[in-house]
Amino acid sequence: MSNPASCGMISGCSVTDPNYDVYRPHGNIRTQNDRGCHLLFDSQTMPPAPHYPRRLSLIQLTILLVLLTLPGLAVAQLTQFIPAVFIVPPLLLVSLLTWLACKFDKQWAQTGQRRIPEVRLHLLEFIGGWPGSFLAQRRYRHKIRKLSYQVSFWLIILTWQVLAFESLSNWQLTRFITSRSAGEASTRLTKPEQPTTHGMIITPSRDTPLHPR
């Protein structure tokens, strides 16, 4: 039998009061409305409190700076051929849009509204918004524990790292792979054919020994 406190009724106060603040001391939920009434609920009689943003730690910011090292150097190299105004502002804008998309998706998830499809979030990350997604995930605890999403997210980051490294190394690995593939294709095309007589290919018969003594 539950007590009045766990049922949400103390001194005429109820959870239907329009104005009350929710906070969680020691795992319980205590509310205080505008009349000063205190209500105590357990985790089974009250919906979870809304998730508040967390501060980004120094370790998280350091990890992001490390991940931005290669892409940053690649962008700096690319600015020798393309003006920086056509590269840096669009990348910053995409990261900002990705940050906002993750933020609103988290808020809509808490209120039960329609979510943003993960494909669209990954598309924003792939076109350059992965730094904003990295920060938003840790700021709002957005899809941190969803393994499938994290695998796709880190594969996108890995793709950016590989492309940045290739750009800094003058695409040596790509040239090596393409030249080797082209060499194998040319070898197949120039492979000598078997000798023919009057346009017919000579094939050994079963009675003819392949290795005469």
What average pLDDT does this structure show over 122-149? 95
Please, are residues 39 and 13 in contact by the beta-carbon 8 Å criterion? yes
Distances (CA, A) of 102 to 159, 164, 200: 21, 25, 69
Please, are residues 85 and 93 in contact by the beta-carbon 8 Å criterion? no
Residue 146 scores a pLDDT above 50: yes
What are the boundaries of each domain within the chain? 4-41, 58-171
What per-residue confidence (pLDDT) applies to 72? 96
What per-residue confidence (pLDDT) applies to 5? 42
- What whole-number percentage of the chain has pLDDT above 70? 63
Residue 82 scores a pLDDT above 70: yes
pTM for this model (two decimals): 0.63
Of the listed ranges 14-28, 165-179, 194-208, the least confidently predicted one is 14-28
Which pairing describes strands 29-33 and 20-23: parallel, antiparallel, or unpaired?
antiparallel
What per-residue confidence (pLDDT) applies to 180? 80
The single-letter code of the amino acid at 18 is: P
What per-residue confidence (pLDDT) applies to 204? 57
For 106-117, write each residue's pLDDT tens digit: 999 988 899 999
Please, are residues 37 and 12 in contact by the beta-carbon 8 Å criterion? yes
